[in-house]
């Protein structure tokens, strides 16, 4: 009866970037330009087919399904009891669904070659570390229910468009005895943990960390 008492839908947090299609970049963000390592530089240069521009990392990405995907850059700085552990994602790479850990998000400026006015466009990407494919024997013996992977860290880096990210997933540590008889540390996939059960104040979260 009194519309002013009901806030309008679709409001975005301050300083966020609406990427379209339901994807929204959320703070925190680097105060100064980030200097990537050699492996990251090669990936970015290959992805852009151009020199690597200066850029700043972003900490979070809201997905069209309402989930907020985080990243290792910020989550690894927090005490274990305060980490939400929402940096593992399902993503499409080379037309195949993969599970990956997000290291950070970034907007890369690329100059339009056909434009003489020096106009740039932005490509929004995520630097990720891709988990291995699941153990095939364990997957078969569990009737396709136990997706058990290894994490290879910096040895499995990929740069992907943020719009190829579909959902946040959980990768739970476990130490199974594989059908081959080998016992090793691995991670198993759990999809959509807590989706719709928790509401986060996205505008105030991560304030006071010294970043923009």
Q: Measured between alpha carbons, how far is 108 from 122 in angstroms, rounded to an integer?
A: 5
pTM over 0.85? The answer is no
**Three-state secondary structure call for residue 110:** strand
Q: What is the 3-state secondary structure (H, E, C) of 136-171?
A: HHHHHHCCCCCCEECCCHHHHEEEEEHHHEEEEEEE
Beta carbons within 8 Å of 171's beta carbon, 6+ residues apart: 88, 99, 101, 131, 149, 151, 187, 188, 189, 190
Q: 132, 52 in Cβ contact below 8 A?
A: no
Residues of the chain with pLDDT under 70: 1, 3-4, 6-10, 81-84, 112-118, 193-212
pLDDT in tens, 65-99: 999 999 999 998 877 766 668 999 999 999 999 99
């Amino acid at each position: 009866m009194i519309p002013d008492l009901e806030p309008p839908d679709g409001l975005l947090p301050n300083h966020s970037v609406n990427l379209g299609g339901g994807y929204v970049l959320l703070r925190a963000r680097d105060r100064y330009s980030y200097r990537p390592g050699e492996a990251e530089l090669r990936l970015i240069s290959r992805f852009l087919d151009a020199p690597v521009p200066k850029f700043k990392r972003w900490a979070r990405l809201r997905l069209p399904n309402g989930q907020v995907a985080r990243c290792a850059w910020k989550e690894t700085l927090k005490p274990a009891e305060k980490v939400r552990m929402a940096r593992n994602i399902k993503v499409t790479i080379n037309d195949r669904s993969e599970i990956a850990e997000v290291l950070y998000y970034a907007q890369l400026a690329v100059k339009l070659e056909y434009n003489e006015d020096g106009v740039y466009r932005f490509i929004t990407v995520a630097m990720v570390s891709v988990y291995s494919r699941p153990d095939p024997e364990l997957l078969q013996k569990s009737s396709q229910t136990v997706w058990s992977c290894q994490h290879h860290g910096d040895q499995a880096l990929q740069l992907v468009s943020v719009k190829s990210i579909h959902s946040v997933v959980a990768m739970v540590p476990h130490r199974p005895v594989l059908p081959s008889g080998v016992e090793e540390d691995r991670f198993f996939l759990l999809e959509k943990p807590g989706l719709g059960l928790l509401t986060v104040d996205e505008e105030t979260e991560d304030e006071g960390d010294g970043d923009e």
